[in-house]
Amino acid sequence: MRKLAFARSVVVAALATLAGVAGRSDAAAPVTPCVQSAQPTWIDYADKWVPFRRLFFRPGLAVALAHTAPAGEARGRGAQIAYWDMSLRDAVGTPSHPADPAGVPAKAARLVDAAVKVTGCDTPMIALNELYGAHLRTPWSRTNEGYRANILELVKAMAARGAQPHLLISEAGATGGQAGNWWHSVAQAATIVREVYFPGRTLQALDPSATTVYLRFQLRRAVRNFTTIGVPSSRVGLALGFQSGRSGRDGLSRDRWFGVVKREGLAARQVGSELGLDSVWSWGWATFAGSAKDPAKPDAACVYLWARSPDLCDAPAAAGRGFDTSRIQPTEKSARASFRVLSQGHPVWLEVSAAAKLAARVAYVQQRTARGWVSAQRMILAPFHPQRLRIPLPSGPHVLRLYVAAESAPGGAAIISRPVAVRVR
């Protein structure tokens, strides 16, 4: 009996030990290194050039990195990781000197392999920095056609390997004609990320309410450059810049700069959620060799995280007494648009009003004919004040309406105003 009791006690102790080890293993199990999708997903550039990168190395945050050492530390601290390719030029060339297309598939494979190694994820999110000549209209030059074909082949090859390419562009893309078809093809394999960098002094010159309207308008316009041609908003992202130069702090005092950063974060938070964007990236935290140090950057990064969620960083403590801790933003009216006739002479003058949420949507003043409604004037809706336009119409009776075209985004259905009778004298 004593031997049996002893044996039982050994078994129980062994099972308890195994249970304890299993419990500790489960508790210490790292989170997945792959970036988890959300609407939007927030990703911050925090590679080795960012002195305070550990601020971003924590559970609930995703960081963009290109080197294995900071990636290992970020994973150890619970952050999710995307891969940052600093020079897309190495893979595809430039609009004037495209790379040999025969080498693009191999370069795509090397990029994906490097991303898997750095991120520890088999299906890595990859930032491709950045497309040249997004503004170029068709017909393209022979060399630019080759360059664009290389980019399309690159993102397709990466997606075929299970990667999630994100193509960064620094300016509005021309979307007319064949260019629009090209963007549609890109969006089938990659997410288009529009960089929108605001000069801090420009924003500081506006009052808080006007700043909010301006920021939301610019962010919506950047996205709607693509959604109004049918690219889904879930295949579009934004990138904000918080660098120290012209398209960032630009010499602002700490207090004023933190106020700008806060408003940018809050605006991106609303627009990203409202339009169901894929992602919002942040850039500008690095201090590269030869550039001046900015001691306010760590606190500005804390403010940006706090604007996304107060749980991410204690901005009031980091920013100091002069920081405005209010997160209240001006509300916006429901998405409505209307117009009224100002003059029924030659030409007819109209005034169009639209809610801020419709900023950058495409609209048409249409005329009823025997063949149905025909568009007479195209316009881009703006939120700042009513827009006036004139339409040449022959003498006699006419019926007009305002038609806001649909876009490929949540709440993006077409909007049609009530018809208005006009008698041109």
Q: Which domains does the chain have, with CATH numbers?
A: 41-319 (3.20.20), 337-424 (2.60.40.10)
The whole-number pLDDT of residue 282 equals: 98
The whole-number pLDDT of residue 222 equals: 97
Give yes or no for a contact between 282 and 239, defined as CB atoms under 8 angstroms apart: yes
Nearest-10 Cα torsion for 172, 175, 178, 184: 90
What residue ranges of the chain have pLDDT lower than 50? 1-29
The whole-number pLDDT of residue 22 equals: 36
CA separation for the pair 307, 313 (Å, rounded): 9
The whole-number pLDDT of residue 334 equals: 85
Give the number of C-alpha atoms closer than 13 A to the C-alpha of residue 173, restricted to the C-beta side.
Answer: 32
CA separation for the pair 302, 424 (Å, rounded): 60
The whole-number pLDDT of residue 291 equals: 86
The whole-number pLDDT of residue 138 equals: 97
Claim: this prediction has a pTM higher than 0.85: yes
The whole-number pLDDT of residue 4 equals: 36
The whole-number pLDDT of residue 31 equals: 58
Q: Which of 291, 196, 298, 207 is nearest to 245 (CA)?
A: 291
The whole-number pLDDT of residue 385 equals: 84
How many C-beta atoms surround the C-beta of residue 24 within 10 A?
A: 10
